[in-house]
Amino acid sequence: MRWPADDAELERAQAELAGAPPAPWRAVGAPLVAGCFVCFPRGSAGAGARGDPAWAAAATASGPPAVVRGAAGAPYRPGRLALREGPLLEAAVRALAERPDVLLVDATGRDHPRRAGLALHLGAVLDLPTVGVTHRPLLASGDWPAPERGASAPLRLGGGEEVGAWLRVAARRRPLAVHAGWRTDVATAIAIVLAATTRRARTPEPLRRARHAARVARAGDRG
- pLDDT recorded at residue 45: 62
Q: What are phi and psi of 61, to 5 degrees?
A: -70, -15
In angstroms, rounded to a whole number, what is the distance separating the alpha carbons of residues 70 and 153?
A: 38
Strand 33-39, strand 102-105: pairing = parallel
Is residue 3 a part of any domain in this protein? Answer: no
Q: What's the pLDDT tens digit per position in 12-55? A: 999 999 999 899 999 988 999 999 999 999 876 677 899 999 99
CATH at 193: 3.30.2170.10
Q: What's the pLDDT tens digit per position in 148-200? A: 999 999 999 999 999 999 999 998 899 999 999 999 999 999 999 999 998 67
The total of structural domains in the chain comes to 1
Q: What's the pLDDT tens digit per position in 59-94? A: 999 999 999 999 999 999 999 999 999 999 999 999
Is residue 9 a part of any domain in this protein? Answer: no
The model's pTM: 0.96
Structural domain including 207 reads: 31-222
Strand 33-39, strand 53-60: pairing = antiparallel
Is residue 2 a part of any domain in this protein? Answer: no
Q: Which ranges of 4-74 does DSSP label H, i.e. alpha helix? A: 7-19
Is residue 211 a part of any domain in this protein? Answer: yes
| CB-based contact 173:198 (threshold 8 Å) | no
Is residue 96 a part of any domain in this protein? Answer: yes
- In the chain the beta strands, taken as DSSP E runs, fall at 33-39, 53-60, 66-71, 102-105, 130-134, 152-156, 162-167, 176-180
